[in-house]
Structures are given as C-alpha cells and as structure tokens.
C-alpha cells in the first residue's frame, strides 16, 4: 500500500512538473515574440524565431496527459476518461508536429491535420472532465472540474463559430470575434481541467467513487 501511494504521488508530481514546464514555455513564447495575443492565434507563433517553444510546450502538455491518463486507466472504471485524456495528449503532439498554414495560404495537409487535431483536443478534455466530475461527484474537486469543463465547451462554441458561418459565405475577421482571446481561454481552461484531473487521479479510489444519490442532488 505504501509503495503504491508513493508511486501514485510520484506520478502526480511528474504530471504537474510537465504541466508547469509546458506553461512556462508557453508564457515565455508570448513574452519573447511580443505578438498581439488578442488577434493572433497561438498557432501563428510557430512562424516566429522562437517558435520552437510552441511544440516544446505542447509536447510537455502531452507528457502530462499521458501520465494522468495512465493513472486513470489503472483504476479500471475510469478507462473511458483515460482514453479521452490520452487522445488529448496525442492531439497536442500532432498540433506541434504539423504547423498551421500562414495567413492567406490555402489549407495544406499539415494545416488540415493541425486544425482537426486542435478541434478533437478541444472537445475531448472537457468531455473527460464531465465524465469524471459525474463519477466522483462527492470529490472536493468535482465542482471545479465540472465548471472548468463547461467553461471550455462554452468558449469552444465561439472558437468554432467563425468556421461554421464561413460555410454559409459569411467571412468574420479577428476584429469581429477576437480569435486570440477565445483560443487562449479554451487552452487555459483545458490545461486547468488536466491539472484538476491529476488531483482526481491521485486521490484514493475509495474517497469519492460514487456519485450523490438522486435525492441528495435534488
């Protein structure tokens, strides 16, 4: 039991170290480039001289997701959420490995992989969060995980909206909807969900396994 607890805590610390290092790399990227974060999406930072910080940051987030996903998978009943978290980590690697296209350039294969991997990532993490928030409803972390997941899904609608209306011939610009802000909010919320899932994964299994009874929730 003691050995298992030590291993679990060690994995949680490793996951948080990767999240922290990824956040430092992402913040550093914003500081050294000096681009406008309101109207410039994160993917475009890859074209700057210090753009290598972007795939580094995403790789570190992927490492964190792999660790936390593995911890969830070991629980057995959390394997569905673990698969979603692992998918999010894989998408982070794809986003970093396949850069987006420069503005004004037709969509390439690399740009297409980048775009759709980002969409899948934006969708999978909140769903994983909502699944675990429901399963561990008595956990002290459940409310935070649920709110962060819902916030990520809510802002994701704003991220996707310009792409949807373009299908109907309406071309919105970054001045109409500040794409930089909405994208950063989604990323921030989802990394926060990942961090909270680290706490859920690191908690003892018997602590908050069952959701509240229907009468209690009412």
Quote the pTM value.
Answer: 0.86
Interacting residues of 80 by C-beta distance below 8 A, sequence separation 6+: 131
Closest CA to 196 of 131, 152, 146: 146
Cα separations in angstroms, 169 against 96, 103, 166, 172: 30, 19, 5, 10
pLDDT of 208 over the 50 cut: no
The continuous run of DSSP H or E covering 113 comes out as: helix 109-135
Q: Residue 23's pLDDT band (boundaries 50, 70, 90)?
A: very high
Could you list the beta-strand ranges (E) of 8-152.
none
pLDDT of 165 over the 90 cut: no
Q: Residue 3's pLDDT band (boundaries 50, 70, 90)?
A: low
More confident residue, 8 or 61: 61
Interacting residues of 50 by C-beta distance below 8 A, sequence separation 6+: 28, 29, 32, 33
Closest CA to 54 of 94, 25, 87: 25
Q: Residue 74's pLDDT band (boundaries 50, 70, 90)?
A: confident
Dist CA 117 CA 125 (whole Å): 12
Dist CA 96 CA 113 (whole Å): 10
Mean pLDDT of the chain: 86
Residue 212: its pLDDT value, please?
Answer: 39
Q: Residue 215's pLDDT band (boundaries 50, 70, 90)?
A: very low
């Amino acid at each position: 039991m003691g050995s298992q607890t030590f291993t679990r805590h060690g994995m949680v610390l490793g996951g948080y170290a990767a999240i922290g290092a990824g956040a430092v790399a992402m913040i550093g990227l914003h500081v050294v480039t000096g681009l406008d974060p309101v109207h410039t999406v994160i993917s475009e930072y890859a074209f700057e001289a210090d753009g290598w910080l972007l795939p580094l940051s995403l790789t570190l987030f992927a490492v964190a997701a792999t660790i936390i996903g593995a911890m969830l998978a070991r629980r057995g009943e959390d394997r569905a959420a673990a698969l979603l978290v692992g998918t999010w980590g894989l998408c982070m690697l794809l986003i970093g490995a396949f850069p987006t296209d420069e503005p004004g350039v037709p969509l390439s294969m690399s740009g297409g992989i980048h775009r759709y991997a980002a969409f899948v990532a934006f969708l999978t993490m909140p769903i994983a969060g909502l699944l675990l928030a429901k399963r561990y409803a008595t956990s002290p972390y459940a409310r935070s995980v649920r709110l962060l997941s819902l916030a990520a899904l809510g802002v994701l609608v704003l991220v996707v909206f310009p792409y949807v209306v373009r299908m109907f011939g309406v071309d919105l610009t970054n001045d109409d909807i500040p794409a930089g802000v909405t994208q950063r909010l989604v990323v921030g919320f989802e990394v926060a969900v990942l961090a909270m899932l680290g706490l859920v994964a690191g908690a003892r299994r018997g602590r908050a396994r069952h959701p509240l009874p229907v009468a209690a929730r009412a």
